[in-house]
Amino acid sequence: AQMHAWQGQLMSLAVFAGSSQFIAVGLIASHTGFLVIWLATFIVNLRHMLYAATLLPHVRHLSKGWRWLLGCLLTDETFAVVDRYYREHPNTQLGHWYFLGSGLAMYGNWQCWTLVGLLFGAIFPQLQTLG
């Protein structure tokens, strides 16, 4: 069963993790149970715990709200950008703003290209037959 374009965009808005989205869609299409889908996506994203542990010394001083927000925006790409920034600016007091900017930029980019992909897929509905 195919998803509607709005469902794809909603999934992208709510789940900011491409690998989880690909896994979840495949499992949903095969009518897998919710618990298995949740466990599979959870395990795939455990690497974010390592990212968070690496960045913790730089954000430890922030409020819980700030840390939750930054954690929601933490992806592989954001980690790479922010980790490099903190390595180059170890004593910065404004690093969390850089982290926020990077995360929001990545999130906006993800939403934009998800929409482009959904629209492109709607223009060429038989595209999946190519593999």
pLDDT in tens, 8-65: 899 999 988 888 998 998 999 899 999 999 999 999 999 999 999 999 999 999 999 9
How far is it, in rounded angstroms, from Cα 91 to Cα 129? 53
Question: In the chain, pLDDT over 90 holds for what percent of residues?
Answer: 71
Per-residue pLDDT band at 131 (split at 50, 70, 90): low
pTM: 0.85
pLDDT of 1 strictly over 60:
no
What's the whole-number mean pLDDT along residues 94-119? 95
Q: What is the dihedral of CA 112, 118, 120, 122, to 10 degrees?
A: -150
pLDDT of 75 strictly over 70:
yes
- Check residue 67 and give its pLDDT: 97
Calculate the average pLDDT of the chain.
Answer: 92
